Amino acid sequence: MSALPPSNAIVTGASRGIGRAVALRLARDGFAVVVNYAGNRDKAAEVVTEISGHGGRAVAVQGDVAEAADMVRLFDEAEKAFGSVGAVVNSAGIMKLFSIASGRVEDFDAVFAVNVRGTFNVLQQAAKRVADGGRIITMSTSVLGMNFPNYGPYAASKAAVEVLTRILAHELRGRGITVNAVAPGPTATELFFEGKNEEQIQRLAKLAALERLGEPDDIANLVSFLAGPQGGWINAQTVRANGGYT
C-alpha cells in the first residue's frame, strides 16, 4: 500500500454525470479538486460551490480535452491553484450511436476526437506532470463486451482508451504511479438517457445481474478506491463496475 503524494486532483468532464460524482467524492476524501468542463460554466460552478459549501477546496477550469493546448492550460491552472498534481481522472467523453453502414464520418471523427485524442491529450500531460506515487484514471465502458448494434465507433473509441491506459502504466515504470481504467455499465446519467425510450432503458437495466442501472456514485466509489492509498497495488487494469453486466 502506497500513500498518495499531493492530495489534489484534476477531474475532466466534471460538470455533470459521472465526472461530477467523482469530483464530489474526491473532495469528500480530502482532495482539492480542479473541476474541468468544456462548455457548461454554470454547472461547473455549481460543483465548486457544493464542494466549498462542505469545507472543501475546488476551482473550475474550462478546457476541451480534444484540444492539446487546452489541456496544457488545464494542468497549468491546476498547479497554480493547488501545487503539484496528485491524481487525474479523465471522465470527459461523448457517446454518439449509429450503425457502421449508415454513420457519418463526421460523427465518427467527433467521437474519436473527444474519447481517443482527448484521452491521449490528458494522459500526455498527466505522464509529464503527475507527482511520483500519484494516480491516473481513465473511463472505458462495459459495452465493449456486448457487441451491441450502433455502438461500434463508441466502443472502438473506448477500446483505444483501454490500450492507451495499459501502455502508459508500463511507460511510467519506476515512478510509483498507477494508471487504470474504470469501465461502467449502463449508468443513470444524462449521457445514458439521451436518445433512449423507456423500454430501451429498462431492457438495459435488466441486463445486469443486479437488475438496475448503476448510479454515478457507484462509479465514483470505485474511482475513490483507485485514487486512494488502498488502490496502490492495482495498476494497468480495466475495472468493470457494472453490477454483473458482462
Residue 182 forms part of a structural domain: yes
User: What is the residue range of 175's domain?
Assistant: 8-241
pLDDT in tens, 129-154: 999 999 999 999 999 988 999 999 99
Q: What is the pLDDT along the chain (246 residues), one digit of tens a residue?
A: 444 467 999 999 999 999 999 999 999 999 999 999 999 999 999 999 999 999 999 999 999 999 999 999 999 999 999 999 999 999 999 999 999 999 999 999 999 999 999 999 999 999 999 999 999 999 999 999 889 999 999 999 999 999 999 999 999 999 999 999 999 999 999 878 887 899 989 988 999 999 999 999 999 999 999 999 999 999 999 999 999 986
Number of domains in the chain: 1
Per-residue confidence (pLDDT) for residue 5, from 0 to 100: 63
User: What's this model's pTM, rounded to 2 decimal places?
Assistant: 0.95
Query: Is 14 inside a domain boundary?
Result: yes
Domain membership of residue 246 (yes or no) is no
Task: Determine whether 135 is exposed, middle or buried from the number of CB atoms within 10 Å of its CB (0-12, 13-18, 19+).
Answer: buried
Q: What is the CATH number of the domain that holds 157?
A: 3.40.50.720
**Would you state the pLDDT for residue 193?**
84
DSSP string, 119-143: HHHHHHHHHHHEEEEEEEEEE--GG
Question: Which residues on adjacent β-strands are paired with residue 87?
Answer: 9, 135
* pLDDT value, residue 1: 40
On whether residue 2 sits in a domain, the answer given is no
- Whether the Cβ atoms of residue 241 and residue 181 lie closer than 8 Å to each other: no
**151 assigned to active site:** no
Asked whether residue 222 is domain-assigned, the answer is yes
List 37, 151, 154, 245, catalytic entry: 154
Which residues have a Cβ under 8 Å from the Cβ of 94 and sit 6 or more positions away?
Answer: 110, 111, 114, 115, 191
The answer to whether residue 12 sits within a structural domain is yes
Q: Compute CA distances 97 → 14, 75, 212, whole Å.
A: 22, 31, 22
How much is the pLDDT for 245? 84
Confirm whether 98 is domain-assigned: yes
